Amino acid sequence: MTPRQKDTLDFVINFQRQHGFSPTYQEIADGIGVKSIGRIATLVTALKDRGFIKTRPGGVRTIEVLKTTILD
């Protein structure tokens, strides 16, 4: 996992704990200091490919965390 992917996963986990629902891509971008929503989409896809999260198509706030660490 790259450091930026870890930042993204950590942000999603903390956001869900604080708010009870998933962040939008814009909220993730703002939270980790990235300007491009496309970059966030790439990071989310990488986390999905690695089995850390899943999303439901066609919705907002649909990120579900499957595991929180490499050891999970």
The owner of tokens 């990120």 is 63
Question: pLDDT tens for residues 30-69?
Answer: 999 999 999 999 999 999 999 999 998 888 899 999 998 7
Confidence (pTM): 0.91
Question: pLDDT tens for residues 1-31?
Answer: 999 999 999 999 999 999 999 999 999 999 9
Q: Is the dihedral of CA 46, 49, 54, 58 positive or negative?
A: positive
Rg (CA), the chain: 11
The domains located in the chain, with CATH, are 3-65 (1.10.10.10)
DSSP bridge partners of 42: none
